[in-house]
Structure 1
Amino acid sequence: MRAATLISRVFTPTLLLAVLYSVVGALAVGWVGVAWSLVGMVFTVAIPAAIVDVGVRRGRYTDHHLSRREQRAVPLGLAATSVLVGLAVLALAGAPRAIVALQVAVLVTVLVVTAVTLVWKVSLHVAVVGAAACVLTLLGGGWWALSWLAVPVVGWARLRLTAHDLAQVVVGCVLGALVSGAVLVIAGVASLP
Structure 2
Amino acid sequence: MRFDVHRLADSISWAISPVVVAPAVYCAITLLGYADDPGKFSYLTVLFAASTAAPMLLIYGLKKIGKVSDYNITFREQRFIPLLVLTFVNVLGYEFMQQLHAPRLLTGILLFNAVNTVLILLVTLQWKISIHLFTLTSCIALLFLKFGVDVLWFLTLVPLLMWSRISLKAHNFMQTLVGGVLGFLIMFAELTWWIGL
TM (normalized to structure 2)?
A: 0.91
Deviation track 1:77-133 (CA, whole Å, cap 9, x = no partner) reads 001100100001111221121211111232222111111111100111011011111
Tell me what 1:5 maps to: 10
Q: Is the 8 A contact 2:23 2:47 kept in 1?
A: no
The 2-side partners of 1:109 and 1:151 are apart by: 19
Aligned partner (choices 21, 25, 48) of residue 26 of structure 2: 21
Q: Is the 8 A contact 1:158 1:164 kept in 2?
A: yes
Deviation at 1:31, TM superposition (A): 6.2
Structure 2: gaps of 5 or more residues: 1-5
124-133 vs 29-38, greater mean Cα deviation:
29-38
Matches within 5 A, 1:112-151: 112-151=119-158
Tell me what 1:97 maps to: 104
The 2-side partners of 1:109 and 1:14 are apart by: 16
Tell me what 2:3 maps to: none
Tell me which structure has the larger Cα radius of gyration. Answer: 2
Mark the CA change 1:170 to 1:34 in structure 2 (over 3 Å): closer, same or farther. Answer: farther
Tell me what 1:110 maps to: 117
Matched, 1:166 2:178: no
Q: Is the 8 A contact 1:21 1:38 kept in 2?
A: no
CA RMSD of aligned residues (A): 1.5
Deviation at 1:65, TM superposition (A): 0.5
Structure 1: gaps of 5 or more residues: none
Tell me what 1:36 maps to: 43
Deviation at 1:143, TM superposition (A): 2.1
The 2-side partners of 1:10 and 1:184 are apart by: 26
TM (normalized to structure 1)?
A: 0.92
Matches within 5 A, 1:67-78: 67-78=74-85
- 1:130 is paired with a residue whose SS is helix
The 2-side partners of 1:110 and 1:22 are apart by: 21
Mark the CA change 1:140 to 1:34 in structure 2 (over 3 Å): closer, same or farther. Answer: farther
The 2-side partners of 1:146 and 1:158 are apart by: 20
Runs of 4+ in 1 over 4 A off after TM superposition: none
Give aligned-pair identity as a percent: 26
